[in-house]
Structure formats: structure tokens, C-alpha cells
């Protein structure tokens, strides 16, 4: 069961979460014409009167870009201010996850993006570890990632997540924790809601944007941190067989943070993960505002 934060932002005002309801005729519910974001926040371990939000500006810009695919002009600075107000209104006391959502809010049956009302809401839940932090098992999904020529994959479009849902359920119901999807060219793409990295011979490797991946913000953070630590990073197509013989494999995402992979199909991976561990420790320190070099990645909200 999720513990939802007390207030939601809905119809341009803050209301109790239970009162933030949409009609069963809402356009986006039927056609997947919505886009969402997701970001983590936590009370500052050094000052409980402050809330720390990780890379708020990047999350808001990505959601604003996603809204453009829906023919919706929603400035990033407006999203950012509402999120700050949302946090101050709720004053969370535990680590949490914020879900902002833009959508076609009209009541109608014609699939379209023109001449239709759009809206924007936010809610939040308390959230600890999304996946087991000691490592997970993955299977190669029978479902393939969509192509950018069919869907705007650089946006977090809600309708696109039917594939993620199918892949996740297939994995769990066959005894695994998570799914790894291939793209239409048969190359490794991403997990159900996370980017993927492998380590081979001390080098950090991940599929590039031309592989139909989501432009993950945690992914970008990992690459920046790795380069700053002197770890060589390579963005290129990745073959399935590389997963099975990699020295390390991990997933990255807002909810998942950095989660190591310990098994893929029937292949067990090493539990010695020096690069994964180093990156995860660094990312944790940054999100807790304990690393002055990356202070501009952390937005402090006073409650």
C-alpha cells in the first residue's frame, strides 16, 4: 500500500489527495494522451526543516518538453514553482516521490491533440527503495521497445508505458524482478522504467540516444559522475551477449536510483561491483547534499 502525501495540486489549487479526482470520460484516460515526470525528495539529514529535491530544474524542463508533444505549452518555471509550493504545503517527513502529470483533460471521444483542454496535476507518495538494493534478477523481455518514428520517446508519454507494463508483468510472473527490453534492431535498450549500464574492462558502457532510450536524468547524472571520477564512459549499441559476460550491470532511474543486477536469465553476474558501488555511494552523497561539487544539482526547499 502506498502512503500518499496529504495534499495534491489539482485544477490550479491544493486539495486533499482524496478529493483530486477526474471523470471516467477524461480524454487522456482513454487514449494515453498524457505525460508524466517523477522526482525524488527527502528531508535534509542535517536539517529536517529543509527538503532536498534532486535535479529539479532538469525534471521540470523534461516535463515541459514532454508537454510540447501534447500540443501543450507549460513552461518549466511554472512547473518548478508549483512543485516547490507542493512540497511546502505537504512538509514531508520521510523520503518521497513526486509525480507531476500533464494530460488532455477534456471529456471527449475523438483522439486528437488540437482544440482540446489540457491540465496539470501533482501528487506524491512516501518511497524508500523501489527495487532490492542488494541486486535484482532480470529476464530479456519478449516485448520490444517502441521506435521514435512511432512514438515521441524523448517524452515520458503515458500511453507508451503499456509496453513497460507488459514487460514488467511478464518478468515478475516468470520469476524475475525486472525486464530488459531490446529495441527494433535487436540491441539492448532499457528496463521497464530504467536505463541500463554495463561495465567491461573498467569502462562504463550504455546505449546511446539513437537506441530509442528515454533521456534519463539519473542516467545523465551517472555519466557525469563517472567522467568526473576518471571512469571512461562509452555510449553505443549494446548486444544481448554483452550483458551475460559483463563484469557489472546496473539499472538507473529516479525510483530505482542505482540498482545492481545479479542475474540475467540463467546467468549469474559477479557480486564484486567496484564501479557500481562507487557510483552509487557518490550519487547518494550528492542527493543528501553532502558533496559540495554537485550542490547545483540539489534544490533546497525551506518548510
pLDDT (mean) for 93-118: 96
Separation between Cα atoms, residue 102 and residue 157, nearest integer Å: 9
Residues 122 and 155 in one domain: no
Alpha-helical segments (H) within the chain? 27-31, 56-69, 76-90, 161-173, 217-228, 240-245, 274-287
Residues 207 and 143 in one domain: yes
How many helices and strands in the chain, by DSSP H and E?
7, 17
Q: What is the pTM assigned to this prediction?
A: 0.95
Residues 166 and 280 in one domain: yes
Say whether pLDDT at 27 is over 80: yes
Residues 227 and 100 in one domain: no
Say whether pLDDT at 137 is over 90: yes
Q: Is 285 helix (H, G, I), strand (E, B) or coil?
A: helix
CATH of the domain at 55: 3.30.470.10
Say whether pLDDT at 51 is over 80: yes
How high is the pLDDT of residue 69? Answer: 97
Indicate the residue among 73, 94, 126 that finishes a domain.
126
pLDDT digit string, tens, across residues 174-194: 999 999 999 999 999 999 999
Within a domain: residue 293? no
Residues 152 and 267 in one domain: yes
Residues 176 and 117 in one domain: no
| Run of H or E residues at 198 | strand 195-200
Burial of residue 181 (CB within 10 Å: 0-12, 13-18, 19+) is buried
Q: Which residues of 209-247 are buried (b: 16+ CB within 10 A; e: fewer)?
A: eebbbbebbbbebbbebbeeeebeeebebbeeeebeebb
How high is the pLDDT of residue 118? Answer: 98
- DSSP β-ladder status, 203-206 and 195-200: antiparallel
Within a domain: residue 74? yes
pLDDT (mean) for 124-132: 92
pLDDT digit string, tens, across residues 201-244: 999 999 999 999 999 999 999 999 999 999 999 999 999 999 99
Within a domain: residue 303? no
The number of residues in the chain equals: 303
pLDDT (mean) for 61-76: 97
pLDDT digit string, tens, across residues 276-292: 999 999 999 999 999 99
Portion of the chain with pLDDT greater than 90, in percent: 96
Say whether pLDDT at 61 is over 80: yes
> How many domains, in total, are found in the chain?
2
Residues 115 and 144 in one domain: no
How high is the pLDDT of residue 175? Answer: 98
How high is the pLDDT of residue 48? Answer: 83
Within a domain: residue 300? no
Within a domain: residue 143? yes
Separation between Cα atoms, residue 177 and residue 132, nearest integer Å: 9
Indicate the residue among 104, 126, 148 that finishes a domain.
126
Residues 49 and 174 in one domain: no
Beta-carbon contacts of residue 210 (< 8 Å; ≥ 6 apart): none
As beta bridge partners, residue 126 has 96
How high is the pLDDT of residue 32? Answer: 97
Residues 261 and 156 in one domain: yes
How high is the pLDDT of residue 108? Answer: 87
Contact 105, 26 (CB under 8 A): yes
Within a domain: residue 292? no
Residues 75 and 153 in one domain: no
Contact 238, 207 (CB under 8 A): yes
Range of the domain at 82: 7-126
CATH of the domain at 274: 3.20.10.10
How high is the pLDDT of residue 214? Answer: 93
Residues 156 and 260 in one domain: yes
pLDDT (mean) for 244-260: 96
Contact 220, 243 (CB under 8 A): no
Residues 141 and 175 in one domain: yes
Indicate the residue among 126, 154, 188 that finishes a domain.
126
How high is the pLDDT of residue 1? Answer: 76
* Arithmetic mean of pLDDT over the chain: 96
How high is the pLDDT of residue 192? Answer: 96
Amino acid at each position: 500500500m502506498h502512503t500518499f502525501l496529504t495534499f495534491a495540486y489539482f485544477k490550479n489549487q491544493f486539495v486533499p489527495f482524496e478529493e483530486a479526482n477526474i471523470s471516467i470520460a477524461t480524454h487522456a484516460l482513454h487514449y494515453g494522451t498524457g505525460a508524466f515526470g517523477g522526482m525524488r525528495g527527502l528531508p535534509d539529514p542535517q536539517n529536517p526543516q529543509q527538503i532536498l529535491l534532486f535535479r529539479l530544474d532538469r525534471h521540470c524542463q523534461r516535463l515541459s518538453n514532454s508537454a510540447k508533444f501534447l500540443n501543450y505549452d507549460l513552461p518549466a518555471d511554472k512547473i518548478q514553482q508549483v512543485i516547490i509550493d507542493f512540497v511546502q504545503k505537504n512538509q514531508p517527513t520521510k523520503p518521497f516521490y513526486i509525480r507531476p502529470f500533464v494530460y488532455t483533460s477534456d471529456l471527449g471521444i475523438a483522439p486528437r491533440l488540437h482544440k482540446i483542454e489540457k491540465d496539470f496535476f501533482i501528487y506524491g507518495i512516501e518511497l524508500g527503495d523501489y527495487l532490492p538494493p542488494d541486486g535484482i534478477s532480470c529476464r530479456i523481455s519478449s516485448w520490444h521497445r517502441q521506435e521514435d518514428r512511432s512514438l515521441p520517446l524523448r517524452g515520458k508519454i503515458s500511453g507508451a508505458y503499456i509496453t513497460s507494463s507488459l514487460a514488467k508483468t511478464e518478468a515478475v510472473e516468470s520469476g524475475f524482478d525486472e525486464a530488459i527490453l531490446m529495441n527494433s534492431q535487436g540491441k539492448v535498450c532499457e528496463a521497464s522504467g530504467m536505463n541500463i549500464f554495463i561495465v567491461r574492462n573498467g569502462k562504463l558502457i550504455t546505449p546511446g540516444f539513437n537506441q530509442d532510450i528515454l533521456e534519463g536524468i539519473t542516467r545523465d547524472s551517472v555519466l557525469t559522475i563517472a567522467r568526473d571520477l576518471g571512469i571512461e564512459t562509452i555510449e553505443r549499441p549494446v548486444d544481448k551477449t554483452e550483458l551475460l559476460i559483463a563484469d557489472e550491470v546496473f539499472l538507473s532511474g529516479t525510483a530505482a536510483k542505482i540498482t545492481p543486477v545479479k542475474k540475467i536469465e540463467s546467468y549469474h553476474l559477479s557480486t564484486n561491483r567496484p564501479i557500481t558501488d562507487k557510483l552509487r555511494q557518490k550519487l547518494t552523497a550528492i542527493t543528501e547534499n553532502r558533496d559540495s561539487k554537485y550542490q547545483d544539482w540539489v534544490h533546497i526547499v525551506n518548510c
